[in-house]
């Protein structure tokens, strides 16, 4: 049976042997009571990496994003976010459904930013008819915008704008370590203007579960309360946090390999008839490509590729996403390209 090359997501990464050992040996306690030393260690390490005062371990990126929104916003407040953002697109509308927060989208530019003039135009004046504009959400790297990292200059500009209107900034930094790697800067620089950031341990960093929210001490105190009401207060969760610590210590620098593999994949895809992609735009581990073959839908191509041994995901009616990760080697990339080329030629 030939090996399946699974490029659906970096969320499929399995824990390393070192993580499993750390999990087995983890010291634990009741984390809701503040008694889990391993969780406390992970939170301290995460806060240090993001250069924030404090951190909170949460079950997922989705939970982290929602917790942050609910701390920043009161019922009925408005949040400005990109039309392609994960929070808007893939989190079941939890902001509204659970958080009572009104999402106001502005278009994402191809590089994952929102035009500053669009954000400015979306900010509400003080008027009894309008909700209060409270929060701006930035996603870094931007998943649906080809995994593009968002740079420091842009964050400077957004901070200035937010300050003019007394607004807060949350960064959905699910892949902030990929952004930092791609931009050759510490992740803390990329979030220095953020009032809060969520980053994920369970994507390219390969931990089995978990994300971390970082912010100032008072923010994290409130976030801890919101996490509890969402059912996210976990007990002897040091067994999972232990893997998160290994993710932060062992797995960050190797993200460069994922980026190199993604670049190789994009260059190869650009040579395949019926596929359109600009490899220059692939800066991290996410590759989106368009199908130009007449009449071929993404869902159909996904099925054909799965049968042939390559797993990818549709990201639009005629667009496909492939993500490189820890278990994918450069040989896998060559093999995947050969399979994709043969499959396209056979249609
Ligand atoms: N992204 C997943 C899917 O939900 C699409 C993926 O396969 O890429 N922010 C960003 C930018 C994300 O990409 C994701 C997950 C999340 C938040 C949510 O993280 P989890 O899955 O831990 O809730």
Is residue 294 very low, low, confident or very high in pLDDT (cuts 50, 70, 90)? confident
> What average pLDDT score do residues 213-222 get?
98
Residues touching ligand 1 (Cβ under 6 Å) are 9, 11, 60-62, 86, 90, 139, 143, 172, 174, 200, 202, 211
Of the candidates 288, 250, 282, 276, the one whose C-alpha atom is nearest the C-alpha of residue 264 is 282
DSSP string spanning 234-261? -SSTHHHHHHHHHHHHHSSTTHHHHHHH
The pLDDT of 90-108, averaged and rounded, is 98
- Kindly report the average pLDDT of the chain as a whole number: 98
Q: What is residue 1's predicted lDDT score, i.e. its pLDDT?
A: 63
Residue 133 phi/psi, 5-degree rounding, is: -75, 115
Q: Is the dihedral of CA 234, 223, 250, 281 positive or negative?
A: positive
Q: Whose CA is nearest to atom 3 of ligand 1?
A: 90
Atom of ligand 1 nearest to the CA of 200: 22
Going by pLDDT thresholds of 50, 70 and 90, the confidence category of residue 3 is: confident
> How far does the centroid of ligand 1 lie from the alpha carbon of residue 91, in Å?
8
Reported as a single tens digit per residue, the pLDDT across 134-159 is 999 999 999 999 999 999 999 999 99
Give pLDDT tens digits for 323-345. Answer: 999 999 999 999 999 999 999 99
Of 69, 98, 143, the residue with max ligand 1 atoms within 8 A of its CB, to mutate for a pocket test, comes to 143
Cα–Cα distance for residue pair 16/268, rounded to 1 Å: 29
Nearest to 168 by CA among 73, 306, 281, 284: 73
Please give the number of the atom of ligand 1 that sits closest to the Cα of 60. 22
Hey, which of 64, 200, 284, 287 would you mutate to test ligand 1's pocket, going by the most ligand atoms within 8 Å of its Cβ? 200
**pLDDT tens, 29-82?**
999 999 999 999 999 999 999 999 999 999 999 999 999 999 999 999 999 999
Choice from 61, 93, 206 to test ligand 1 binding pocket (greatest atom count within 8 A of CB): 61
| Other CB atoms within 10 Å distance of the CB of residue 308 | 17
Q: Tell me how far the alpha carbon of residue 86 lies from the centroid of ligand 1, in angstroms.
A: 7
Query: In which band, very low, low, confident or very high, does the pLDDT at 221 lie, cut at 50, 70 and 90?
Result: very high
pLDDT at 280: 97
Q: pTM higher than 0.95, yes or no?
A: yes
Find where tokens 């950031």 sit.
197
């Amino acid at each position: 049976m030939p090996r399946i090359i699974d490029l659906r997501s970096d969320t499929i990464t399995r824990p390393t042997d070192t993580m499993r050992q750390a999990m087995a040996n983890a010291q634990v306690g009741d984390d809701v009571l503040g008694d889990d030393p391993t969780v406390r260690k992970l939170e301290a390490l995460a806060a240090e990496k993001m250069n924030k005062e404090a951190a909170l371990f949460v079950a997922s990126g989705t939970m982290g994003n929602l917790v942050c929104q609910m701390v920043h916003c009161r019922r009925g407040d408005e949040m400005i976010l990109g039309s392609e953002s994960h929070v808007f697109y893939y989190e079941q509308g939890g902001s509204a459904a659970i958080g009572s927060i009104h999402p106001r989208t502005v278009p994402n530019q191809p590089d994952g930013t929102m035009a500053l003039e669009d954000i400015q135009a979306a900010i509400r004046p003080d008027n009894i008819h309008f909700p209060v504009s409270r929060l701006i959400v930035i996603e870094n790297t931007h998943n649906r915008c080809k995994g593009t990292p968002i740079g420091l200059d842009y964050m400077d500009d957004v901070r200035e704008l937010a300050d003019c209107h007394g607004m807060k900034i949350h960064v959905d930094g699910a892949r902030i370590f990929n952004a930092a790697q791609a931009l050759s800067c510490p992740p803390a620089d990329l979030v220095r203007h953020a009032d809060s950031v969520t980053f994920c341990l369970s994507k390219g960093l390969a931990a089995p579960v978990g994300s971390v929210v970082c912010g100032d001490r008072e923010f994290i105190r409130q976030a801890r309360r919101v996490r509890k009401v969402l059912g996210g207060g976990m007990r002897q969760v040091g067994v999972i946090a232990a893997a998160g610590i290994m993710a932060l210590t062992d797995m960050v620098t190797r993200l460069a390999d994922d980026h190199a593999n993604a670049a190789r994949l994009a260059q190869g895809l650009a040579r395949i008839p019926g596929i359109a992609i600009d490899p220059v735009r692939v800066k991290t581990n996410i590759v989106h490509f368009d199908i130009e073959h007449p009449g071929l839908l993404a869902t159909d191509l996904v099925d054909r590729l799965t049968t042939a041994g390559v797993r990818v995901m549709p990201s639009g009616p005629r667009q496909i996403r492939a993500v490189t990760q820890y278990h994918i080697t450069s040989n896998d990339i060559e093999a995947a390209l050969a399979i994709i080329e043969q499959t396209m030629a056979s249609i």
